[in-house]
Structure 1
Amino acid sequence: MRVIATAGHVDHGKSTLVRALTGIEPDRWAEERARGLTIDLGFAWTRLASGEEVAFVDVPGHERFIANMLAGLGPVPAVMLVVAADEGWRAQSQEHLDAITALGISHGLLVITRKDLADPAPALGQARERLRSTPLAGCEAVSVSAMTGDGVEELRGALTRLIASLPAPAPSSRVRLWIDRSFTIRGAGTVVTGTLESGTLRVGDRVQLPGRTVGIRALESLGQDHPQVSAPARVAVNLRDVAADEVVRGDTLLTGAWHHSEVVDVALNPVPDRLPGHLMAHVGTTSRAVHVRLLGTRFARISWRAALPLQAGDRLVLRDPGQQRVLAGAVVLDADPPDLDRRGAARQRAAELEDASHHLDPAREVHRRGWMTRHDLQLLGGSPDEVLAGVHRSGHYLIDGEVWEGWAEALRQSVAAYAATNPLRPRMPMAAAAGVLGLPDRALLAPLAEDAGLELCEGHVARPGTRPTLGPAEPGLVEIERRLARQPFLAPERQELTELGLGPRQIAAAVSLGRLLDLGDQIVLAPTAPALAMRRLASLPQPFTTSEARQALDTTRRVVIPLLEHLDHRGWTRRLDAGHREVVR
């Protein structure tokens, strides 16, 4: 799974676009739906044609909710910047771009919406000019109409290409989950959610919250329970022995050892024209009032109350709360800096930070890939070339090249055999794969899988493009998918399903795989049918009758009634009386 945030001015169609892509309403509050205004973070997901799952964090666009927007952008690696064709670049378009620039997010898409209302070319040209000197310069652009569906498939293709460009995940790293929601489920207890950037969480793990250690009762991702979830992912964590009001947005859930900082030294990027001494700093999903002390022109010392788990390479956004404006980004160079307690110490520290800034990015790359650290090489003695020559390097291990290649081939064969015998769940659990190979450390599995041409996803390893199938019933399901591609609202009869080997169990499995939508009583359509139906229903005079909907969709009463009820339940249509409905705009 990959996670992408939206960004853009209020009422430019971010939530409508997410709804068209996923079929999920991202606005969670009744007030948001009534006002047509996103107030808090929304969440939705879909599966692309490549088989990759993508989750969206939908952020509010109104200036009053800028802190919520930053909480959504903070932990994600990529962004979908939305600009409406009929309005063009606006105030919060720039505000959100400033935040993206401050966070150093360089992976993204520019999406021009509402092309059914205006020519998208002027808005596209205007946005391209604004992006020219930012990390998103040159990013792919797509024009769409979420209401008519024009351009949505092209956007799905662009999302597939964007995902392919993202850095490789690090499922074996320690966990730092910035919490964005905390709530209670009756009978289950407290649940927290967030974007898992690195590492793996497992049911039964002991994890650290501020001031305490608690256990994981259950894990959920994209609406499904999992025994473990690996980064990158949206995850919901059901915690033991903690009340919902004891955990808030901005708290962290941790595994492993973390240094908690109240003071950090940072490089400013971009360097602002001015920087007041008192600002708000945003990192992850939290925000803190901070004191800023400049160290030369490019560096600063930032301090606050209540320590945070930070490390070199973390990015902060510095914002003026009075002007509601992003002033600068900041990259942490030192999360445990020395005191500045003597004359000239600030000037000397600025010179030290100048040197540290040149080595930050390579150091982060070393850690991300799991190669041997500089400190380890010093312990072994000799230069890096002398120590690593002719030896495979992974994590804190130096491994003979032939042994490494043998492991890679054995992993490929084990993954293929597992997929052949488990068509419904063809991805091999990482723990099983490490056990089969007899690896000395499961952390070696991630780089080994990469070298073997395999991919890791949610605690499993598989060949790229692997997707679950129904085994013997797969040909029947493929036949139904072909029929529905030609006639999307002509659901097969129950007898036809039986003849194709699709009984209740097989249909339930196909639904769980996201390949069919069950409207009840074994009336099945493609998962895209609701969105396709909305395009046609939106073109009808409003309100419309059931008969008019049936004719517009070229289907039967057996199908149209449960389909309309499904659209009502999603909030896409509204039933006015016994015979009339209207599209909710």
Structure 2
Amino acid sequence: MAKRYFTVGMAGHIDHGKTALVKALTNKETDRLKEERERGISIELGFAPLLETGELEISVVDVPGHERFIRQMIAGVAGIDLVILVVAADEGVMPQTKEHLEILSFLGVGQGIVVLSKIDKVDEDLHSLAREEIIEELKGTVFEGSPVILADSISGKGIADVRTSILRFLEEVPSRSITGDFRMPIDQVFTVKGQGTVVRGTVYEGSVREGDSLMLLPSGKQTKARQIQVHHKPASQAFGGQRTAVNLSGVSREEAVRGDVLVKSEFFTVTDTIDVSMTMVKDLDHPVKQRMPVKLHTGTSETMGRIIFFDRNEAESSQEEILCQIRLEDEIVVKRNDRFILRRPTPAETIGGGNIIDPNGGRYKFGQDTIRFLQQKKNGTPLQRAEDALLQHKVLSRSGLLQETSISSGVLDGLVKEGNLLSLPNGEITSIQVLTNLEQLIEEELAAIHENFPLKSGYDKASLIQLFKSSYTDSLVNQLIKQNLKSGKWTQTGHFIARTGFTPSVPAQWLKRSDQVLQSLKSAGLKPEDMEAYLMNAGIPAEMQPGLLQYYREQNKVIFINDSIAFDREVFEHAVQHLMEKTNEDFALPEAKEILGLSRKYLIPFLETLDSIGLTIRIENKRKWRSAAQ
């Protein structure tokens, strides 16, 4: 059984005992800053290991509770798998508790554990009353129905129950993916003497090894994992869900900041425009107006931007879903379905949150058409999103498709393996629908050329590729042609593509005159006139003559020895056979003239035709039969 990694987060009002509870559970002090210890409040995120066995590893993050440190709180909660809401028994639910609850709901935390802390400060006969009051206060929140455990971090009462509840809860929680593309949002950056820059965060997904090539986004700075630590212990590898520090090579302290994301592939999207689905807080003090400045929190990043509505000019407190867009002042790194929080800069308050529909937001018109479009994007499966992107772009590189759709590389591999998407020989990816659409277009072109130019063997392949060049890549058209030739749906004669079953033919109204041309040519033997003369004598219109001549060539009915003179095929083949029988391995021009009885007007182009079709090789003044030369 694969080892599972989890991060448990503490949330709650300032001074309700979160840090003390972490210490009681882990025996670790998470307030590491001098200011934190002096003031008795958490300012930065604090982390500690809770449990490690062969099958399980659990870390705890203590997030600041004071409203001034809401940014750190959001950064800490964004990477957790289970939330413990800490409420002091002697104070109950406070304003900051409610704001934390709202933030947790926006970040997708559906449930957790409630710890009624500091129970020694309340008379024992009031414990049940305090518990009932908390349960009542939490109705209608994400913690409604969650277990409520009474505990005191100083005396140790209930701490074992909290630990047991955590373990029981995590048995039902799926661990973060350790096989996806590595991603670690950075919440702390510092330097270690003699080592250089170290970044720390919770690995959202994937894994990283010492020596791995990495990228710092959004800057794109290339680096390597020089060393890795998990909870201050050296490790050769870190996995999704682990609290991890990575020593980066070639990165200065100034080049990495909180909010950056450490990744291992180029598949992640760097963007400044995101399409989102959001809801507003229940008790919004002021309406949110169109293009109002907002502060976006996602992962560990905090970025200013403006909110863009497409179906309204302002929004007030409401639990309805709002599909809209955030246009940011700075680039961020996000994936589809990442959670976010929106806050008003002034006066500072949380105004809403939700999840990202599309990291690659576009420019849309105001109106219900855009809302329907966003709804389709929101509800789309990975396959639907990939197909939509490919219908727009026709083909995409692997990295381009991953960035465009925000699906994982593992999911993409599955779609290709299952045959839902197609990988082209050059590594590009397309969809069955794109190929179907292209096939239909080519079918229409083939049908049209067969009907309008029945003398032609089909559509010239190079011209066919050029015809669709503005919309479809050469590799895609080539792949479809190859596929349909293999299946027998199309045929190829020389460089011409045709629908299977099509045979070039002379239109019925001209068939008799065409036969007259061929009969006249055959009767002329080895001394024919120019082809134009035969066509004119038969009454073939000038506009039809080039097509008919090409038809004669392709159907091997005549053999052209120059641009204007041709022999009937049987006449030509008989003359070649006669010459071969009357000569030895090689022969000179006078010998051929005597055998065939041709003047130089016909003889020289006749012999040059033998060279061009590979029957003879000219060596100085003689020609050698190729069969003899071999």
Query: Could you say which TM-score interval applies, normalised by the shorter chain?
Result: 0.5 to 0.7
Cα deviation, residue 284, structure 1: 0.6
Contact 1:84 1:123 in 2 (8 A): no
Higher relative contact order (CA 8 A, sep 6+): 1
Alpha carbons of structure 1 residues 124 and 323: separation in structure 2 relative to 1, 3 Å: farther
Question: Are 1:323 and 2:347 matched, yes or no?
Answer: yes
What TM-score results when the alignment is normalised by the length of structure 2? 0.57
Cα deviation, residue 52, structure 1: 2.9
**Match among 407, 411, 421 for residue 379 of structure 1:** 421
Cα deviation, residue 141, structure 1: 2.0
SS of the residue corresponding to residue 273 of structure 2 reads strand
The residue type paired with residue 293 of structure 1 is I
The C-alpha deviation readout for 1:507-537, integer Å capped at 9, x for no partner, is xxxxxxxxxxxxxxxxxxxxxxxxxxxxxxx
Who is 1:217 aligned against? 226
Question: Are 1:259 and 2:300 matched, yes or no?
Answer: no
Alpha carbons of structure 1 residues 41 and 278: separation in structure 2 relative to 1, 3 Å: same
Who is 1:268 aligned against? 278
Who is 2:468 aligned against? none
Alpha carbons of structure 1 residues 189 and 117: separation in structure 2 relative to 1, 3 Å: same
User: What is the 5 A alignment of 1:36-115?
Assistant: 36-47=40-51, 52-115=56-119
The C-alpha deviation readout for 1:401-443, integer Å capped at 9, x for no partner, is xxxxxxxxxxxxxxxxxxxxxxxxxxxxxxxxxxxxxxxxxxx
Cα deviation, residue 292, structure 1: 0.1
Alpha carbons of structure 1 residues 113 and 49: separation in structure 2 relative to 1, 3 Å: farther
**Match among 116, 121, 146 for residue 117 of structure 1:** 121
Cα deviation, residue 320, structure 1: 1.6
Question: Are 1:154 and 2:161 matched, yes or no?
Answer: yes
The C-alpha deviation readout for 1:230-260, integer Å capped at 9, x for no partner, is 1110000011111223211111111211121
Who is 2:29 aligned against? 25
Question: Are 1:199 and 2:206 matched, yes or no?
Answer: yes
Question: Are 1:183 and 2:190 matched, yes or no?
Answer: yes
SS of the residue corresponding to residue 305 of structure 2 reads strand
Which segment is superposed worse, 212-221 or 110-119?
110-119
Q: CA RMSD in A?
A: 2.7
SS of the residue corresponding to residue 94 of structure 1 reads helix
SS of the residue corresponding to residue 22 of structure 2 reads helix
Cα deviation, residue 368, structure 1: 10
Cα deviation, residue 152, structure 1: 0.5
Contact 2:101 2:142 in 1 (8 A): no
Distance 1:280 1:365 in 2: 23
Cα deviation, residue 158, structure 1: 0.5
Question: Are 1:291 and 2:306 matched, yes or no?
Answer: yes
Contact 1:196 1:230 in 2 (8 A): yes
Distance 1:200 1:48 in 2: 18
Contact 2:206 2:240 in 1 (8 A): yes
Distance 1:38 1:304 in 2: 30
Contact 2:185 2:204 in 1 (8 A): no
The C-alpha deviation readout for 1:202-249, integer Å capped at 9, x for no partner, is 111111112310111100002221111111100000111112232111
Contact 1:78 1:106 in 2 (8 A): no
SS of the residue corresponding to residue 269 of structure 1 reads strand
Distance 1:76 1:284 in 2: 11
Question: Are 1:358 and 2:379 matched, yes or no?
Answer: yes
Alpha carbons of structure 1 residues 129 and 234: separation in structure 2 relative to 1, 3 Å: same
Contact 1:83 1:123 in 2 (8 A): no
Alpha carbons of structure 1 residues 167 and 359: separation in structure 2 relative to 1, 3 Å: farther
Alpha carbons of structure 1 residues 30 and 295: separation in structure 2 relative to 1, 3 Å: same
Distance 1:161 1:255 in 2: 33
Cα deviation, residue 22, structure 1: 0.5
The C-alpha deviation readout for 1:441-489, integer Å capped at 9, x for no partner, is xxxxxxxxxxxxxxxxxxxxxxxxxxxxxxxxxxxxxxxxxxxxxxxxx
User: What is the 5 A alignment of 1:508-523?
Assistant: none
Alpha carbons of structure 1 residues 48 and 255: separation in structure 2 relative to 1, 3 Å: closer
Who is 1:228 aligned against? 237
Question: Are 1:14 and 2:48 matched, yes or no?
Answer: no
Cα deviation, residue 300, structure 1: 1.0
SS of the residue corresponding to residue 337 of structure 2 reads coil
Cα deviation, residue 282, structure 1: 0.3
Contact 1:282 1:316 in 2 (8 A): yes
Who is 1:244 aligned against? 253
Distance 2:355 2:419 in 1: 26
Query: Which has the greater radius of gyration?
Result: 2
Alpha carbons of structure 1 residues 339 and 318: separation in structure 2 relative to 1, 3 Å: same
Distance 1:235 1:353 in 2: 36
Question: Are 1:142 and 2:149 matched, yes or no?
Answer: yes
Amino-acid identity (%)? 31
Alpha carbons of structure 1 residues 357 and 128: separation in structure 2 relative to 1, 3 Å: farther
The residue type paired with residue 338 of structure 1 is G
Distance 2:141 2:251 in 1: 42
Distance 2:264 2:53 in 1: 34
Structure 1 segments unaligned to the other structure (5+ residues): 384-585
Question: Are 1:333 and 2:357 matched, yes or no?
Answer: yes
The residue type paired with residue 11 of structure 1 is D
Distance 1:347 1:235 in 2: 45
Cα deviation, residue 266, structure 1: 0.6
Distance 1:366 1:165 in 2: 25
Distance 1:139 1:360 in 2: 31
Who is 1:464 aligned against? none
The C-alpha deviation readout for 1:51-70, integer Å capped at 9, x for no partner, is 63321111111111111111
**Match among 286, 309, 327 for residue 303 of structure 1:** 327
Distance 1:9 1:2 in 2: 23
The residue type paired with residue 203 of structure 1 is E
The residue type paired with residue 309 of structure 1 is V
What TM-score results when the alignment is normalised by the length of structure 1? 0.61
Contact 1:107 1:162 in 2 (8 A): no
Contact 2:63 2:76 in 1 (8 A): yes
Distance 2:406 2:271 in 1: 23
Alignment coverage as a number of residue pairs: 380
Contact 1:88 1:122 in 2 (8 A): no
SS of the residue corresponding to residue 116 of structure 1 reads helix
The residue type paired with residue 288 of structure 2 is L
Alpha carbons of structure 1 residues 128 and 322: separation in structure 2 relative to 1, 3 Å: farther
Cα deviation, residue 123, structure 1: 3.8
SS of the residue corresponding to residue 96 of structure 2 reads helix
Contact 1:313 1:360 in 2 (8 A): no
Cα deviation, residue 3, structure 1: 0.6
Distance 1:72 1:120 in 2: 30
Cα deviation, residue 31, structure 1: 1.4
The residue type paired with residue 28 of structure 1 is R
Cα deviation, residue 331, structure 1: 1.1
SS of the residue corresponding to residue 288 of structure 2 reads coil
The C-alpha deviation readout for 1:541-570, integer Å capped at 9, x for no partner, is xxxxxxxxxxxxxxxxxxxxxxxxxxxxxx
Alpha carbons of structure 1 residues 321 and 361: separation in structure 2 relative to 1, 3 Å: farther
Distance 1:9 1:57 in 2: 15
The residue type paired with residue 228 of structure 2 is L
Cα deviation, residue 382, structure 1: 8.7
Cα deviation, residue 261, structure 1: 1.0
SS of the residue corresponding to residue 421 of structure 2 reads helix
Cα deviation, residue 295, structure 1: 2.4
Alpha carbons of structure 1 residues 311 and 121: separation in structure 2 relative to 1, 3 Å: same
Distance 1:146 1:368 in 2: 44
Contact 1:283 1:317 in 2 (8 A): yes
Cα deviation, residue 154, structure 1: 0.5
